[in-house]
Amino acid sequence: MGSFTGGPAVSFTNFPKDNYPTSSTPFQSPSPSKPPGISLATLAKASDVLNSLFEKDAQMVPELRDTLASSSSAAYNIPPHRSWAPFYRPDGVEGFKSMPTGVFDEYDEVRPHCCMGLFPNIQRAWITLNNRLLLWDYTEGSLIATFEVQEDVILHVGLVKARPDVFIDEIKHLLVLSTAKSILLIGVADVPVSGPSPSGDAPRLEVKLYETGFIHAAKEMQSIVGTKDGRIFMCGVEDGYLYELIYQSSEGWFSKKLSLICHSSGGSITSLLPVTLSSWRIVPTTDDRVVSIIVDEERQYLYTLTQRPHISMFSLGLRGDSLLLRSTLKNIIADTNRIVPSDAFTIVGLHVIQKGARANDASDQPQLMAVTSTGARLYFSKQRYMMGMDPDTLQLTHVRLPPQSLRHPPADPVSAARVSSYLPPVTAVNGAPFHVKRIEGSCYASGVTLERQSPGEDPEKSDFIICISPDLATLSSLGSLPTPSYNQYSTYPSSSGGPRAILTEYAGVMTISGNAWDMCEVPSVPSSHKPPESLVAAVTNELATQFSRPQRKFLVITNMGLNLVVKRRAVDFLSASLVEADLGNQAALQDFFASFGRDQTCAMLFALASGNIFLSSESGQSATPVVANNAKGILFSQSGKPAFKEGIGYGGGDSNIVFSGRHAGFALYFARVIRPIWRTQITLGDKPSSLKSNVFEQTLVAVQKNLDSLRHFLVTNPHLFDSSQGEFTGNSRATAEQEAWKAENASAAGLKVLVSQTIEAISFVLLLQDYGLPQVAALCGDAIFRRLITLRYCDLITTKDGRDVARALVTAVINQQIAQQTSVDTISEVLQSRCGSFCSLDDAQESLRKATETSSPEERTKYLQESLRLFVDGARIMELQSLVDIVADYRRCFYATGAVFLPLRCAQEFDATNEGRDYWLMGCPPGDSDPRKQLYERRWACYGICVESLATFDEALNEALLKGQPGNNEETARTRAYQLAFESQDQAFHSFFYDWLISRGMTEELLEYRPAFLEAHLQRDPRTVEKLDFLWQYHVKTDAPLRAAKVLADMAESLDFELPLDKRIEYLTLAVNNAKSHSSAEVGRQETAVEFLTDLEEKLEVAQVQREVYHSLFAKLKNPQGQDSLRLRQLEKELLNISQLYNNYAEPYKLYVVKLLIFKVSDHRDTQLTQATWETVIAETVAEAVSEERMSHLSAAVSLLASKFFPSEAAFPLDDIALLLEKLALENRQELSPGWAPRTLTSGGVPPATVFDGFHNMYESQIPPFNTQEAIQFLSADIAILISDWLDEAIRPQSKTNRNEFPANMLDEVVNQYLRELGSERNDVRQLYESLRIRIRRHF
């Protein structure tokens, strides 16, 4: 490629590696440029705000023990609006899935031997039909797996965790089947077949069953439960004893692989004996049998419930390997009646209450709840037996009465699902409220209770489900006024002081389809392997989790199918209230503000306005535009403004300021979005080889998506925190209100920075996973590794230690990739695109300064490379002026990589979403209102800086050569700079770059180099003749002649360009030539290319006809006017088809010769039309000439037309033309020489043989007027002259006629024929024939 500035030639085929100037190369020291960085102090201050909010969230909902201070309670609230119903059943198949086909029918047949339940941990419902076990994959609708290896009727089924190291690794659970004769263990392997979604949905599981061979003779067992360590407990149906099934991988001296131990026998010895011994020796007592067992995995306790009812508490020990009876509570009914007199009841459900968030499992903390048949809930706590001892006695501490005056749900389950436990302030229409009674089952999880009520005597009726959940707004007293600051946030009720809140709940009832067998909550997907520092409260603070997990869902399986019950959250109430407000009903929205308070409401408004991914409507869609827009509007209009506390002047910091609801909502929403990760350790593992991310990827992605949508909302709504409201008015002292605005804006700005940094921190962790966290950690060294394994996300983002570890990890990633032959530029590009701001620009400036001061070329190269790497990492936060200064320094250092690559990288980072590029692709629409214009201008400014570097290196090289210097460093830098420019993958830059090169007159060099994106640039609108001319030449240079032909054809036919006809014909001619040069290897479909070439040749022929039409018409009209002028202009400016040429020009303007040309090109065959046209042509030709020259003029004209049209039968029918000419010759025989007609034709290039055939046929057929003797003799004379001329040409030396093709024998015969039929008076002709015969025989 030639020099870009007229200097020496430079090759761009083998680019040198970075080669930087030696110490002798003169350059100026770069001017200092310090782009703004990320202030850790700002991040730490914003982090303090979040940490304060985390503490307040942990204290918001009082502990369960604090709400159950009295011995009984019955506080229930009525939702004031239909849209606040806390539970609903979705419509359609989402809310109810029918029992798979065939199961229901078989259920009716074997109902006495059928039971069913739910195993949510493996996403299966189980159904037993006699000896068959069916596992229904309810996530897939009708998919059922069947197990029927054994022959006995299955009576009870349990799912427990499998002990490790007994089965293969895939088996994580065991199915325990109990029949009247035996207990059978089946291995269960559940494998995820799809990854969890960021929206919180669990992956679908594929379940495989394995026969284990473990089967033990035993009587019927029920209530089969397991511990987290794999122990299995159950109780006998007949004897009511507590049993443990013990299994191991192999038999020992004193133990079998499978044994059944009875823990209810009378002595310690028999408790260790197998059931086959102990059950025969001890006579069972049947008056108080164990009927239910549950396990408390957190506290390592096991509870049993007997018929009387008695509750026994067993300790499993710290390691979970023992079973010690701690206490038995026997006076449950009496204690209950002493607290609240009630009807007779039984306990139908026993549930563990998980530990509280703040209580260290204190003695009075409820840990067990029993649901009675009357719907009451009994709470049990541990009590100390003696002072100073650990509490080990279970006591009834509170009775929670059932809700009263519930409204009857509709009989139709679908209608019931729609009203979804709505509680109006009045009773049912019939005046009879719904009474809670006949409770037969229950489900409890994190404060939510579901109770199943039997419909009574009629088994055909469906069951009722009583749904109970905490009223968080009332429990937390959220309707109170906001407190001054985050350091003095709202004081929520707690055990440490202040008024105690009474447990207040929402309650409702709904009808389900069928009679329920089992109920459970759908397990939530954990966010991390190791949970965060803060624990979940027994009554879950759903306000703190509603932005980071989906709605809670509960499953109810009946004989009809599977029902789904969904719990609404506060934000769902708000979304529905916004919809009502949009319809004109403001009451719900006003009540929401009153119930939940300004700050909590604003936090939920931020979630709705920014599009939190966990906020889906009941139709499955995210928040509608109406809801989002209304939420945004309320944030602007009803969130208040910051102010100083009353009685305190301005100053004194944020502690004296009450921030607005916007700020409080922003901070609170931000804190709750990052709650799953903020105080969570980043990694898990104690050595590099086993290191992995502690937080699951789907959690990180979900948090990042929500933060990114929040950032987008803040960017697109900059006036939400308008700094102009806090500007000074010019007074010497700002007002308190202005100071408050200024403080709020500064605090919000810090939070915004923290949002962006958290997004990049997540990207950084995901990047480490992509590159292999164990491998990267191994390269960091032991010191960094030890710091890494204790690092939390909050530390990584806001502390210097976190940034130091991050920098070490970045270095490890770079070293890892360099070792894998990846360039530094490529690594930097990845780091910048994922987490660029984690590298400091200050370090980059320091490296650049060192590069200017060192005298060592090696050190200079190292420092320049390091500075570029750091600048690239921080490109996203770099100011444009800083970029100008930095690139200027790189130019002075002759560091071409930095001077070209850095502005190109900044162009992409400044326009990271490519909105500016899209603005350019759309042709830069006029006007200043388009927000993309600014991004476009910043991007184009970077391109300008880049090409300015190229121009600078050009000038430096030329200047060195003019001074007689070698210019080695200048040439190296220039070559490298152009290499980077041409290798860029930024299409927009290439377009800018090509225009810049073309403006410098370097089109030939561009064609020679054939750079990337040149073709796309030339094809991009607006199309011009110059660009397309360049494009087809580019295709020729790249050995793509067919593409060149297509471009040329497009140019020739396009009406977008004002091209003369001759230019269009030239383009078509070039197109034909290029198409002929095409090889089948170029495209692979030669047939298509042939068709294209044929089409081009036809168009070229028509275009040439058009040119003939133009010239003929122009000559005929001489001075065209009006319509004639327009017709001529049309011929000149566009290509017409053959029909247009004939109908619009040849026919109306009587262009007869043009007609013949059209007949030839189109191969149009119309004998009469063609003959008439020739007659007219001949007549007009004769009429145009002077009388004495008319026949010679006609001969010349016909000869010319013959040369143009022969051998086209459509335009030059030889027989007809020969007859016309011979007639004229006969009529004018007095003035014409013999042989005029045949000689006219042969002079036009018609072969003598063809002419002879025509005249001989005329002679033989005796077509009038050649049917008289005189005319025949005249015709014979012309034939004789024709044969004579033909013979002369055949025997002439160097003749074009091949002697072998001369038909001597045939002519000898016809000459004899002509002689016989020649009249006696034509002696001259006879002599000619005889002479011809002699000559023919002599020469042939």
Q: Lowest-confidence range among 28-37, 130-139, 781-790?
A: 28-37
Q: What is the pLDDT of residues 418-443, one digit of tens each?
A: 444 333 333 344 557 888 999 999 99
Tell me the average pLDDT across 1189-1214. 90
Residue pair 343/414 in contact (Cβ under 8 Å)? The answer is no
Contacts of 1056 (CB under 8 A, 6+ apart): 1023
Q: Give the closest residue to 1052 by CA, choosing from 1103, 1098, 1018, 1095.
A: 1103
Reply yes or no on whether the pLDDT at 920 is more than 60.
yes
Q: Would you state the structure tokens that stand for residue 412, as one six-digit string?
A: 């139709």
Highest mean pLDDT, choosing among 1185-1194, 1203-1212, 1317-1326: 1203-1212
What letter does residue 876 receive in the DSSP assignment? G
Q: What is the 3-state secondary structure (H, E, C) of 1084-1115?
A: CCHHHHHHHHHHHHHHHHHHHHHHHHHHHHHH
Q: What is the pLDDT of residues 695-722, one digit of tens each?
A: 999 999 999 999 999 999 999 998 888 6
Q: How far apart are CA 459 and CA 605, in angstroms?
A: 47
Q: How far apart are CA 759 and CA 711, in angstroms?
A: 9
Q: Lowest-confidence range among 238-247, 473-482, 917-926?
A: 473-482
Reply yes or no on whether the pLDDT at 482 is more than 70.
no
Residue pair 177/150 in contact (Cβ under 8 Å)? The answer is yes
Q: What is the dihedral of CA 1156, 1158, 1162, 1167, to 10 degrees?
A: -30
Q: What is the pLDDT of residues 581-619, one digit of tens each?
A: 888 889 999 999 999 999 999 999 999 999 999 986 555
- Give percent of the chain with pLDDT exceeding 70: 85
Find how far residue 1135's CA is from the centre of its chain: 47
Q: What is the pLDDT of residues 788-817, one digit of tens each?
A: 999 999 999 998 888 878 878 887 887 788
Q: What are residue 1239's phi and psi, to 5 degrees?
A: -70, -30
Number of Cβ within a 10 Å radius of residue 688: 19
Residue pair 957/967 in contact (Cβ under 8 Å)? The answer is yes
Contacts of 727 (CB under 8 A, 6+ apart): 738
pLDDT of residue 825: 55
Angle at 1168 between CA 1166 and CA 1173, to 5 degrees: 95
Reply yes or no on whether the pLDDT at 301 is more than 80.
yes
Q: How far apart are CA 717 and CA 910, in angstroms?
A: 19
Reply yes or no on whether the pLDDT at 1256 is more than 70.
yes
Burial of 185 (0-12, 13-18, 19+ CB in 10 A): buried
How does residue 38 score in pLDDT terms, banded at 50, 70 and 90?
low
Its pTM surpasses 0.85: no
Q: How far apart are CA 221 and CA 236, in angstroms?
A: 4
Reply yes or no on whether the pLDDT at 764 is more than 90.
yes
Q: Would you state the structure tokens that stand for residue 951, as one six-digit string?
A: 């121009």
Q: What is the pLDDT of residues 640-673, one digit of tens each?
A: 888 877 644 444 456 678 899 999 999 999 999 9
Reply yes or no on whether the pLDDT at 1334 is more than 50.
yes
Q: Would you state the structure tokens that stand for residue 1131, as one six-digit string?
A: 């011929």
Q: How far apart are CA 1108 and CA 1117, in angstroms?
A: 14
Residue pair 31/838 in contact (Cβ under 8 Å)? The answer is no
Tell me the average pLDDT across 1282-1297. 86
Buried b (16+ CB within 10 A) or exposed e, 883-916: bbbbbbbbbbbbbbbbbbbbbbbbbbbbbeeebb
Q: Would you state the structure tokens that stand for residue 1255, as one six-digit string?
A: 């005249």
Q: What is the pLDDT of residues 352-404, one digit of tens each?
A: 998 865 545 456 789 999 999 999 999 999 886 555 555 678 999 999 999 98
Buried b (16+ CB within 10 A) or exposed e, 278-298: bbeebeeeeeebbbbbbbbbe
Going 1217 to 1223 to 1229 to 1235, the CA torsion angle's sign is positive
Q: Would you state the structure tokens that stand for residue 61, as one six-digit string?
A: 């909902």
Chain length of the chain = 1340
Share the mean pLDDT of the chain.
83
Query: Where is pLDDT greater, at 1268 or 618?
Result: 1268
Q: How far apart are CA 759 and CA 838, in angstroms?
A: 11
Cα-only R_g, the chain: 49
| Coil, helix or strand at residue 2 | coil
At residue 1329, what is the residue type?
A: Y
DSSP code per residue over 577-619: HHHHHHTT--HHHHHHHHHHHHHHHHHHHHHHHHT-TT-B-TT
Highest mean pLDDT, choosing among 23-27, 216-220, 851-855: 216-220
How does residue 177 score in pLDDT terms, banded at 50, 70 and 90?
very high
Reply yes or no on whether the pLDDT at 1215 is more than 60.
yes
pLDDT of residue 69: 85
Reply yes or no on whether the pLDDT at 492 is more than 50.
no
How does residue 728 score in pLDDT terms, banded at 50, 70 and 90?
very low
Reply yes or no on whether the pLDDT at 634 is more than 60.
yes
pLDDT of residue 915: 86
Q: Would you state the structure tokens that stand for residue 806, as one six-digit string?
A: 């991050």
How does residue 1085 score in pLDDT terms, banded at 50, 70 and 90?
low
pLDDT of residue 144: 86
Q: How far apart are CA 1267 and CA 1273, in angstroms?
A: 10
Q: What are residue 826's phi and psi, to 5 degrees?
A: -65, -45
Q: In what helix (H) or strand (E) does residue 1082 lie, and over which residues does it extend?
A: helix 1080-1083
Burial of 112 (0-12, 13-18, 19+ CB in 10 A): exposed
Please give the C-alpha separations between residue 69 and each of 64, 120, 339, 630, 1065, in angstroms, as whole numbers.
9, 34, 13, 41, 100
How does residue 464 score in pLDDT terms, banded at 50, 70 and 90?
very high
Angle at 1027 between CA 1024 and CA 1029, to 5 degrees: 105
Reply yes or no on whether the pLDDT at 529 is more than 60.
yes
Please give the C-alpha separations between residue 385 and each of 315, 316, 368, 389, 806, in angstroms, as whole numbers.
16, 19, 18, 7, 54
Q: Lowest-confidence range among 77-86, 480-489, 587-596, 1028-1037?
A: 480-489
Please give the C-alpha separations between residue 623 and each of 46, 91, 609, 620, in angstroms, as whole numbers.
29, 18, 8, 10
Number of Cβ within a 10 Å radius of residue 1233: 10
Tell me the average pLDDT across 266-288. 42
Contacts of 162 (CB under 8 A, 6+ apart): 171, 172, 173, 174, 187, 188, 230
Contacts of 414 (CB under 8 A, 6+ apart): 91, 96
Number of Cβ within a 10 Å radius of residue 1046: 18
DSSP β-ladder status, 393-400 and 72-73: parallel
Q: How far apart are CA 1113 and CA 1127, in angstroms?
A: 9
pLDDT of residue 412: 59
Tell me the average pLDDT across 776-780. 91
Reply yes or no on whether the pLDDT at 409 is more than 90.
no
How does residue 622 score in pLDDT terms, banded at 50, 70 and 90?
low
Reply yes or no on whether the pLDDT at 1094 is more than 90.
no
How does residue 281 score in pLDDT terms, banded at 50, 70 and 90?
very low
Reply yes or no on whether the pLDDT at 1253 is more than 50.
yes
HSE, CB side, 13 Å, CA atoms: give it for residue 1093.
Answer: 17
Tell me the average pLDDT across 187-199. 77
Reply yes or no on whether the pLDDT at 256 is more than 60.
yes
Tell me the average pLDDT across 901-912. 89
What percent of the residues of the chain are helix, what percent strand, and what percent coil, each to the nearest 5?
Answer: 50, 15, 35
Reply yes or no on whether the pLDDT at 824 is more than 60.
no
Q: Lowest-confidence range among 413-427, 1106-1120, 1218-1232, 1317-1331?
A: 413-427
**Residue 147, beta-bridge partner list:** 133
Q: Give the closest residue to 489 by CA, choosing from 639, 334, 668.
A: 668
